[in-house]
């Protein structure tokens, strides 16, 4: 089957699953809504902040406060795109139609990534503009140094987290197992490691913590790397997950 046909087939499969639209819609709603709420609360509490907190106040990053929870929906989306075929048994039909497993996986990841990027761009710009509206006099704008980089970076971050979950799901082949590992890894283990001084240096190299640096205009911690290096660390995690998934896909039976 030609590559164009495989891409079209993957697009048809993705849009035919009701959970796709639901999870991506939740990613937008949760990210934007929670970001607006946190921005409004920050605006009200700004006068009560300490001098140190005011110096590190990052209005751009505050508007992205909801992305921490919104990425949960993006992770679920990435898992379902890959693992739902295994749970339904459709993977056998798919691999029979496209025996070139590299082509099959590339097409699936490419289509899902493009869709995730479009949704993530909408989410990041909406979260930024609406969040800044809530911040009032403490807001910033796209013309300020590094702000546009942070907004575009937020979209890249969400997209890459979706790709990372696709790689994990390709390795594990089960939606429940994939989410059962990803959720504690990203929302329990990583925050705990990052919040304890003895393990903070380890947690800083986890995909979520490193990737979020690209969304910051003002550094929020003492990480030994900057925004682009943090994004590179996240890209390395994504590449490792996808390569491992591809290696196992080639080796195993459907």
pLDDT of 253 strictly over 60:
yes
Average pLDDT in the 61-82 region?
93
Q: What is the pLDDT of residue 254?
A: 57
For 214-233, give one letter per residue: b (16+ CB within 10 A) or e: bbbbeeeeebeeebeebbeb
Tens digit of pLDDT for each residue in 171-197?
998 999 999 999 999 988 888 888 888
* CB 178 within 8 Å of CB 184: no
* CB 107 within 8 Å of CB 3: yes
Residues 6 or more apart from 35 whose CB is under 8 A from it?
A: 62, 63, 64, 65, 66, 67, 127, 130, 131
pLDDT band at 221 (very low <50, low <70, confident <90, very high): confident
DSSP state of 199: T
- Give burial (CB, 10 Å; 0-12/13-18/19+) of 26: middle
Instruction: Spell out the domain ranges in the chain.
Output: 3-251
Give the helix, strand, coil percentages of the chain, each rounded to 5. 80, 0, 20
pLDDT of 1 strictly over 70:
no
Q: What is the pLDDT of residue 150?
A: 97
- Determine the Cα–Cα distance for residues 245 and 138; give it in Å rounded to an integer: 45
Average pLDDT in the 119-141 region?
95
> 109 versus 194: which is more confidently predicted?
109
> 97 versus 237: which is more confidently predicted?
237
Q: What is the pLDDT of residue 68?
A: 86
SS3 205: coil
Report the predicted TM-score, pTM, of the whole model to 2 decimal places: 0.93
Average pLDDT in the 60-79 region?
93
């Amino acid at each position: 089957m030609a590559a164009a046909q495989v891409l079209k087939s993957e697009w048809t499969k993705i849009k035919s699953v009701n959970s796709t639209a639901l999870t991506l819609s939740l990613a937008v709603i949760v990210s934007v809504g929670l970001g607006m709420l946190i921005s409004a609360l920050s605006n009200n509490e700004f006068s009560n902040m300490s001098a140190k907190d005011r110096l590190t106040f990052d209005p751009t990053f505050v508007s992205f406060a909801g992305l921490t929870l919104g990425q949960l929906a993006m992770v679920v989306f990435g898992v379902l795109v890959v693992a739902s075929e295994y749970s339904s048994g459709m993977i056998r039909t798919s691999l029979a139609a496209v025996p070139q497993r590299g082509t099959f996986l590339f097409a699936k990841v490419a289509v899902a990534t493009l869709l995730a990027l479009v949704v993530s761009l909408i989410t990041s710009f909406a979260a930024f503009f609406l969040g800044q509206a809530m911040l009032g006099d403490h807001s910033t704008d796209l013309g300020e140094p590094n702000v546009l980089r942070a907004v575009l970076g937020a979209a890249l971050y969400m997209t890459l987290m979706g790709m990372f979950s696709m790689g994990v799901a390709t390795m594990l082949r089960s939606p429940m197992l994939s989410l059962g590992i990803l959720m504690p890894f990203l929302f329990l283990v990583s925050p705990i490691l990052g919040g304890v001084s003895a393990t903070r240096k380890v947690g800083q190299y986890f995909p979520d913590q490193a990737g979020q640096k690209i969304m910051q205009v003002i550094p929020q911690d003492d990480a030994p790397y900057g925004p682009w290096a943090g994004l590179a660390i996240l890209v390395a995690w994504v590449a490792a997950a996808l390569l491992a998934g591809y290696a196992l896909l080639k080796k195993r039976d459907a």
